[in-house]
Structure 1
Amino acid sequence: MKKHNLLVAIVAVVECIAFTAQPVQAAKYSKSEAKQVKYFQRKYKNLDKAQYNRNSIYQQAPNFANPFSPGVLNPAYISTTMDYVNYYRDLVGLPSEANPDDANRSAQIGAASLAAVNASASLQAHGLINYLRPNYISENDWGIAENATLGNINFLDDAHSASAGEIVTDLMREDNNIAGAGNIGHRALILSARATRMGVGAAYGRNSNVLYSVQNGWFADDILRQPVVNTMVYPARRVFPYELVGKKTPWSFSTTKRIMDTPKIYITDITAKRRHRATQVRNFGKAFYGDGYATTITYQPGKTKLINTHKYKVKIGKYYNYTFRFFRQNSKVNYPRLKSRA
């Protein structure tokens, strides 16, 4: 779980970094890199950035009394949430997830139940542990809520307004996870190698202005599926948004292979020709096995300077190495000029 004065996320406010829009230097990118960057920038531009508040997030507000109703979300909020989830999955090479109505209903019951008890920002919100069921919520609905809240939970304190994308991005970056330094449980669920679907729920607190958001992404049949990839890295291979890393953002390496030791990790800025050793390296073992990963190792880039357009190489012990280049999601990309060929 993450806690922040503005955003709190369980198992989450995006750290503000001053990014100035500037054209990407064409010489920095190969033709294939520029093509990838333009593809993702186009997708990002098309994502809805609308802000939601207590008046606009619902199609039908919850009723915290008899007869209990979890409410119905504005369909645009749900679809935008999934658009961001699938944008991030595309960035790392994963297939899109579906968004079935039954998963949304369960997620909404989960969010409304958290709101009904004014759940505090602690890990016990997962599964509503040690919370008493209000008498106006049926045992059946409470059971649904317990299961749905095992997924990602995000708390937005004093939520006058927020966009669906801000909440998903918070969970991806993992800058402030109360579950512990380097824990990437939210990211692992969004970038699950097994998941095929996700439900979305959100509700304002019964007696507060806290917005409870739920990503219902744990399903028994998904957990039994074979992972669709063998390795997941953050930052991702190829090209990666500069906006998705910050001073507190943990980097991660997840694999279907079991790794028992804690390897030394080195990050080389290929552009600047500088190499530094990663810090705060932690091996979480099989903590995210349900998402398809037998080992997850997280770390911080240490003294490495993160510079837009620079190309980096990450070497994770004897186990894995890869390269990526940063780009800004809002910048313009110019293709490099190539000589004509017959």
Structure 2
Amino acid sequence: MSKTRALGKPSLVRRLVPRRLTLRGGLLVLVLACALLCSVSPVLAAETSARTAEDIQARWVQLMPSFVFDRGPDSRYITLPSFHAPYQAGSLAPAYLQDGINYLNYVRYLAGLPDDVTLDASYNTLAQHGAVLSWVSGIGLTHTPTKPADMDQAFYDLGLRGTRSSNIASGGGLRGAIEVFMCDDDPSNISRVGHRRWLLNPAMQKTGMGDAHSVLVYAHDRSRPEDVPYDVIAWPSAGLFPVEMFSSVQGWPEYADPWSITLNPALYWWTEGAAGHTITLQRRGDGRTWTFTSADTDLSGEYFTLDTRAVGVANCFIFRPDPKTLPMYEVGDIFDVTLSGGIFHKSDNSPATISYTTEFVSHYLFPDARGYDSCYRAIYHLAQAGIISGYQDGTFRPRIRCSVPSSPR
């Protein structure tokens, strides 16, 4: 589950660098929007193919991160951690933790899983101690860091329990870490996409989060009392899917997100190993087709495997086109996915074929508002209220100064 944040990855840099929007009348926009904000309510397992773009955009505006770092990076803490004896775990601001759990639940919403995961105080304690231990261990990301000579045994024990049971990332904050976990695109992680699968574990009901330069998200919880009904867990999922949550970056082949399909083991069984299984991915716009078999083993190029390790749900078909042949996903791209061969229905042992369609959309009402998250909720709710509507080409043009003749309606 360990993962180093890819500092040079363009898509991550765009996601992690905050930007500010300066608009005349911005205060008025925020004041008008205050009355329009709505509360967050959980949605249980859903059929993702039935969603509309409006559904996704509404859920994004509910769950998108909104924490304001008004005091710089230290804003995330109520009490600062200490990285030398006497070690202190520190404590994270509730609003910052809420951002993290909201973002995790948005990811689960997109996958059609219960998006009602909550923060658990004991898991938060383990994750925060683990974050400090991970950072001071000095040996890179590991689930079993050694004890610093001057660290209290009780602190170390808590930290070790945290690192052993969590996804771990280096830097990027809670949102950035969850984004990296969902990518799982580098050669050391693509063969199992383990971070992704832990976060998309249907049985997860609670988690904990820690941030002390190293970022931990507790992953081993299976406390959900009821079984979650699902056929497959796909990333990106069937139906409409926000392109902002899935990337293929031209010129960075090692950072092209893999697709993944996890079958419900209560409904299906399959032959072991990648041999005998085939996945086809067809882009409707031009008919371009990629076919994946066990011969596709390039960890930085075209790739396919079946991983059955006990990571979340213990099966995952993982595939990725060579980034040289699919350098970027764009809004409007539609892909048909088919998984066949060596898969059977448990009910009668008949052969099974998994087929679905993914269409990429934007989870922003105005796609050019991406990067202006501090103001986006206000923009969205004003548009929903009919106070503004953007320009005729569907843009909002946030960098243009408003004037009466050219102001969007």
- Normalised TM-score (structure 2): 0.64
> Displacement of 1:120 after TM fit?
1.2
Match of 1:171 among 166, 169, 181: 181
Matching residue's letter, 1:325: E
Preserved CA contact (<8 Å) 1:82 1:99: yes
- Give per-residue Cα distances to partners, 1:181-200, cap 9 Å, x unaligned: 34311111111111111100
Structure 1 CA distance, aligned partners of 2:53 and 2:170?
A: 37
Structure 2 CA distance, aligned partners of 1:32 and 1:195?
A: 23
Match of 1:20?
none
Preserved CA contact (<8 Å) 2:283 2:336: yes
Match of 1:256?
264
Aligned-residue CA RMSD in angstroms? 3.1
SS in 1 for 2:12: coil
Structure 1 CA distance, aligned partners of 2:161 and 2:355?
A: 37
Matched ranges for 1:1-342 at <5 A: 1-4=2-5, 6=7, 14=12, 33-43=52-62, 46-48=64-66, 50-51=68-69, 53-95=72-114, 96-121=116-141, 125-128=142-145, 131-138=146-153, 140-150=154-164, 151-156=166-171, 162-176=172-186, 179-203=188-212, 211-219=213-221, 222=223, 226=227, 228-247=229-248, 248-257=256-265, 258-259=269-270, 260-262=272-274, 263-278=277-292, 279-288=302-311, 291=312, 293-302=313-322, 303-304=325-326, 306-318=329-341, 319-332=353-366
Matching residue's letter, 1:47: P
Structure 1 CA distance, aligned partners of 2:160 and 2:279?
A: 39
> Displacement of 1:82 after TM fit?
0.7
> Displacement of 1:73 after TM fit?
1.3
Preserved CA contact (<8 Å) 2:65 2:100: no
Residue identity over aligned pairs, in percent, reads 19
SS in 2 for 1:153: strand
* Count of residues in correspondence between the two structures: 295
Structure 2 CA distance, aligned partners of 1:275 and 1:313?
A: 9
Match of 2:401?
none
SS in 1 for 2:158: helix
Structure 1: runs of 5+ lacking an equivalent: 18-29, 157-161, 204-210, 335-342
> Displacement of 1:113 after TM fit?
1.4
SS in 1 for 2:152: coil
Name which one, 1 or 2, has greater alpha-carbon Rg: 2
Structure 2 CA distance, aligned partners of 1:38 and 1:224?
A: 30
Preserved CA contact (<8 Å) 2:232 2:262: yes
Preserved CA contact (<8 Å) 2:167 2:216: yes
Match of 2:400?
none
Structure 2 CA distance, aligned partners of 1:43 and 1:222?
A: 25
Preserved CA contact (<8 Å) 2:4 2:169: no
SS in 2 for 1:326: strand
Match of 2:395?
none
> Displacement of 1:223 after TM fit?
9.3
Structure 1 CA distance, aligned partners of 2:209 and 2:5?
A: 22
> Displacement of 1:54 after TM fit?
4.2
Structure 2: runs of 5+ lacking an equivalent: 16-48, 249-255, 293-301, 342-352, 368-382, 384-409
